[in-house]
Amino acid sequence: MTRYALLIAVGLLTPASVFAQSVKIVGIGAAPCTTFLLQASSDPRAGREYMAWAQGYLSGLLIRAPEGKDENLDLAPRSFPVRKQAEFLRVYCEGNRAADFSDAVETLYKTLRAPPG
């Protein structure tokens, strides 16, 4: 019995980071910001595809939020419509060329979570 208690205690005291898994993001939005900027500026359809991917990723982030967090978060509020969000992503990537497009989307999500003002 003591042996099992010790195993349980060790399991509870082990940092969660030991069990953390690496996540591989896939799809057009897994590209570096430089690729996004090049493709979106040369082909409007590519820009729309990136934005569609971003909306799906934003929705996934919202769905995965812990219970009680980000409830009632509007991913397309009137004060920050999709066109303005697309501009946000472009500006982010222009200023952070070493980042991935998904980093831009995660920053957009944090911005949408921030209180207005």
Q: Structure tokens of 68? A: 């009680």
Q: What does pTM read for this prediction?
A: 0.79
Residue 8 and residue 10: Cα distance in Å, rounded? Answer: 5
Widest Cα–Cα separation across the chain: 67
Catalogue all structural domains in the chain, each as residue range(s) with its CATH number. 22-113 (1.10.890)
pLDDT at 19: 46
Per-residue pLDDT tens over the stretch 56-82:
999 999 999 989 898 899 999 999 999
Contacts of 19-25 with C-beta under 8 Å, sequence gap 24+, read 25/57, 25/100, 25/102
